[in-house]
Amino acid sequence: MKNILEQIKQKKGRLALLLSCFCLFGLMSCEEFLDAKPNQSLVVPKTLADVQSLLDNTNVFNGQATLPSIASEEVWISDAGYAALSNPIEQAVFIWSDDPYPSGFSGDWNSLYEQVFYSNVALEVLEDFEGEQSEFYQTLLGSAYFYRGYAYLQLVSEFAMPYQKAGGNESLLGIVLKSTADVNEELERANLQESYDQIDADLTRAVELLPENNMPKTRPSKAIALGVLSRFYLSTFQYTLAAQSAREALGIYTDRLDFNELDVDARRPFTRFDEETLFYSTLFSYSYLRSTQVFVDSALMDLYEEVDLRKPAFFDETSSGNFNYTGKLSGATQNFGGISVGELYLNASEALVRTGKDEVALSMLNELISLRHQSEAWMPLSELSSEELLERILEERRKELIGRGLRWMDLRRLNQEVEAETLVRVVNGIRYELAPNSPRYAFPIPMDEISRSGIVQNP
């Protein structure tokens, strides 16, 4: 953690760390980063507008973990592409190496704890604020809780073992929970149950405080916080709450994107902030995600029916007959990592079928697929058993949510729910495997963090 904070200090200047963070309050916007006059560089936050400026730093808050996306089985890379990867971390993560950070550094760990740090700075300023606790104040407070909870959810999904449906989470290692911005605070890892309890508390508080809508879409809202809560509840096997949260979010956010209205053959069929997007963020940048030698898994491609508009919208076929994932919901080259309408439908429908509400689950699934298939060829699904309906929902998750890092979270929980398969990579003729429930489903803590802070390493 101290390594993270030292890097932030180096990046923002040679000032004391907390003052360095304070100077950012009045200087950041959704479009620009530290674009300010020199005499503004030591602004100390005092007003609610200062806090809003800090929380509007999209460079910090609207990026998400990438390594789980590289580690999942959605896509693979050719031997030539593997050799050309610019960062050895990408190569190590792709083959599930026991030591995935040859340089000792993990951008996911550092960047997510940077989000936690900035959230805590905002929370401390708001706690000391002596003015009226207006609706604007409540929105800022809810936003800070949201960003911290969202960062913690990503951290625990990458750097701790999966939440165990059978229990015993109090005896497993969780993550470092930081409740203050004090850089001298002694660090230790909470247990897994405590970590998930903190995420629940932060996101629930955000739902209570945030307005239903909060533009632009880089800012959190009640619907967005409910959407993340539905993801959280799925990962902790709380299916009734997962369904309730997702459906409530869909009731607040009523826009829908019909793929029949898109030019699905365009290079970039989606636009930034379109109707499908509740919360906009993108995965941290790695060359792996941009390589033309990264191809979609053939078993996944086989799931798309010919009338499924996601196939031409998401993918470009290459001369080799493989497919590149190019049509990203971000509307750009970066992989989308935020909250979408499609995810909420799938969170709700899976949770509903798991709680015996098959009819409602099927209705929601049909509503989503009708927005994804050619309208003239669309025939609603019917007469499915519970097992068949669940299988179809899980297939739709794979098709709808490709490239967002969510597959890794799904594998971690589904390994405990269904008959899981061993993941396999072959690179330069060498076979690598990742067994279900392997300890490698938790990424190791970067060694430079271990050596500086002394926190316990993963098994």
Walk me through the domains of the chain, giving residue ranges and CATH numbers: 2-259+336-453 (1.25.40.390)
- Could you count the other beta carbons within 10 Å of the beta carbon of residue 231? 21
Residues 6+ apart with CB under 8 A from 202: 145, 146, 148, 149, 152
13 class by beta-carbon count within 10 Å (0-12 exposed, 13-18 middle, 19+ buried): middle
pTM across the whole model:
0.91
CB 162 within 8 A of CB 174: no
Instruction: Identify which of 164, 63, 182, 181 has the alpha carbon closest to the alpha carbon of residue 118.
Output: 181
Q: Where are the alpha helices (DSSP H) in 355-405?
A: 358-370, 386-400
- Pick 28 or 285 by higher pLDDT: 285
Give residue-wise pLDDT tens across range 4-17: 444 444 433 322 34
- Name which of 97-111, 277-291, 294-308 the model is least confident about: 97-111
Question: Considering the chain, what is the average pLDDT of its residues?
Answer: 90
Q: Is the peptide bond before 216 cis (omega within 30 degrees of 0)?
A: yes
Per-residue pLDDT at 419: 75
Q: Is pLDDT at 78 greater than 80 in this prediction?
A: yes
Q: What residues contact residue 379 under an 8 Å CB cut-off, 6+ apart?
A: none
Nearest CA-CA partner of 46 in 154, 135, 118, 128: 128
The confidence score (pLDDT) of residue 182 equals: 87
The string over 428-453, giving b where at least 16 C-beta atoms fall within 10 Å of a residue's C-beta and e elsewhere, is eeeeeebebeeebbbbbbbebbbebb
Degrees to nearest 5, angle at CA 120 with 164 and 339 = 55
Q: What is the mean pLDDT of residues 176-191?
A: 91
Q: Identify the band that residue 37 occupies on the pLDDT scale cut at 50, 70 and 90.
A: very low
Residue 26 has pLDDT above 60, yes or no: no
